[in-house]
Structure 1
Amino acid sequence: MTTEQNIIKSFDRVADQYDKQRRKLIPCFDDFYQIAVSLADTPKQQPRILDLGAGTGLLSAFLLERYPQAAVTLVDLSEKMLDVARERFRQRPQITFLHADYLTYEFSSSYDLIVSGLSIHHLPDPDKQRLYQKVFALLDPGGIFINADQVLGHTAYLEFLYKNDWRHKVESSGLSQEEIAAAYERTKLDQMATLEEQLRWLNHCGFSDVDCVYKYYNFAVMFARKNKG
C-alpha cells in the first residue's frame, strides 16, 4: 500500500470523529486556529480561498466566520472527510469540493488566500517544496499563504521534548485508549520538516514577508505574502 493510500485509509477511518477529537489532540487549538484566521487578511469581501488538505472543513469554517461571502475551494484526498465538510457547508452554495491530490491537481483559478491546516507535513520534503512553488504561482499578487502545521524539532533533543509534551497532554485529555492508539498510529504517516527549512523554501519561491507568527512546541503557523509586483 502506498503512502497516499495509507493516508486516505487512516483519515477515512476517523472522519466522523475528527472534529470532536481536535481540541484534545491539539493542545493549543484556540490559538492555533485563531491566529491562522487572523493572518488571513484581505480587503476583499468575497475573497477566493483555497484550502489544501481541507479534511472536514474545520479551518474553512473559521475563515467563513470572518468572510461569510468568500468563495472557498476545499481539496482533500479523503472522500469521507469531504463528506463531513459537505454536510457542514450544505447551506453554502459558494463552496466547491475537490476530491483530489492537491500536489498534482491542475487548478483553473487563482486565489487571494491559500491555507492549509495539518496536512503538508504528510508530504516528503521535495513535494513540500514543489507545493510551495505551486502555491506561489496560484496566488494573485498581494495574496497570502498560511500553513498551520506540525514541524520537526531542529535537533533530536528538541524533537524529543516536542513529542514528550504532546504525548503527556494527549494521554491526560480524556480520549479513550483506542482513540489515543489511533492518533499514535497516524503519526507514523508524518514526514515533518523543520520550521527553518520551510521558511527558507518559502523565501526561495519568491514570497516576501515570510515568518512563523505562532509556535507551540511542534505546532506552527507560517505566513507568506506574494508581492503585488
Structure 2
Amino acid sequence: MKNDRIDIRTQFNKVSQRYDEQRKKLIPCFEDLYRIAAALAILENDTPSVLDLGAGTGLMSSFILEKYPNSNLTLIDLSDGMLEIARARFSNHSNITYIASDYTEFDYSEPYDLVISSLSIHHMNDPEKQKLFQKLYSIMTPGSIFINVDQVLGNTDYLESLYKSDWKKYIENSGLDQAEISSAIERTKLDRMSTLDHQLQWLTEAGFSDVDCVYKYYNFVVMFATKIEIYRGPNRPER
C-alpha cells in the first residue's frame, strides 16, 4: 500500500495548481455536495476543533471556516503541493495547522469535534477504510460529527457502468481540454472504491450513531455519522 500512497502524492502534486478550478468541471453535483456537507456541520461549540482528512487545497475546510470562523483546523494530506495551495488560501488565518503526512498512520494528539473528508477516502481499500473509521471514532470528542464527501462503488456491475457512463459524459462536455480529461481518467486508477452499504455498515461497527447517506448522485455521496456522548434511559441519547 506504500506505493499507492506515493502514486497518490505524485499525481496530486502534479495537478495542485489547477485542482480547484478543475474540480467543479469534474463533479456533476459539485455545489450540492459541498453545500449539503457544510449544512450538516451543526456544532454547539463556536470554536470547534476540526480535522480535514485528505484536505488537499483546503476546499472543504473553507466551507467550514466560513460557517465557524473561529474554528481550529488541522489539514492533513499526502501532497505537500496541495497543502501549499491551502496555505495561500488561508494566509489570513492563524488558527490552522498543516500536516503533510498519511492520515491513516498519523498519531493524532488531540480530540476533534468535527472530522471532514472530501473525495479522499475512496483511495483506500476495504480493510483500510474499516481501520480508519475505527481510528476516527477513537480520536473524536463525545457529541462530535463525521462528514465524508466521497465516491462509492455501484452495488452491481450494471450500476457501476451507469455511474461511469454518467461521469464520462459529463466531463467530456465540461469544457476541460483533452489533456485534462485524460489526466482525470488516469487518476481514477488510484481509486479503491467500496459500496455505500458496506461503508455505512463499517461506520456503525466502528461505534458511530446516526449513520446515514444524506445525499447521493450516482456514485457521489455525502455520508454522515455522530459519536454520541452518553445514554440516559433506553430510548433517549444525550449528546
TM range (shorter): over 0.9
| Cα displacement string for residues 127-163 of structure 1 (whole angstroms, at most 9, x for unaligned residues) | 1001000110111010000010000000000000000
1:38 positional shift: 0.6
Instruction: Pick the structure with greater CA Rg.
Output: 2
What is the rounded CA distance, in whole Å, between the counterparts of 1:41 and 1:33 in structure 2?
Answer: 14
Question: TM-score w.r.t. structure 1 length?
Answer: 0.99
| Cα displacement string for residues 167-226 of structure 1 (whole angstroms, at most 9, x for unaligned residues) | 000000000000000000000000000000000000001111000000000000000000
Give 5+ residue unaligned stretches, structure 2: 231-239
What is the rounded CA distance, in whole Å, between the counterparts of 1:225 and 1:91 in structure 2?
Answer: 31
Aligned amino acid, residue 160 of structure 2 = E
- Tell me what 1:91 maps to: 92
1:106 positional shift: 0.2
- Tell me what 1:168 maps to: 169
- Tell me what 2:64 maps to: 63
Equivalent residues in 2 for 1:30-45, closer than 5 Å: 30-45=31-46
Matched, 1:114 2:115: yes
Identity within the alignment, %: 55
Aligned amino acid, residue 199 of structure 1 = L
Aligned amino acid, residue 24 of structure 2 = R
- Tell me what 1:76 maps to: 77
- Tell me what 2:227 maps to: 226
Give 5+ residue unaligned stretches, structure 1: none
Matched residue count: 229
What is the rounded CA distance, in whole Å, between the counterparts of 1:76 and 1:4 in structure 2?
Answer: 11
What is the rounded CA distance, in whole Å, between the counterparts of 1:203 and 1:2 in structure 2?
Answer: 30
- Tell me what 1:177 maps to: 178
1:43 positional shift: 1.0
- Tell me what 1:147 maps to: 148
- Tell me what 1:17 maps to: 18
Question: TM-score w.r.t. structure 2 length?
Answer: 0.95
| Cα displacement string for residues 98-128 of structure 1 (whole angstroms, at most 9, x for unaligned residues) | 0111000000000000000000000111010
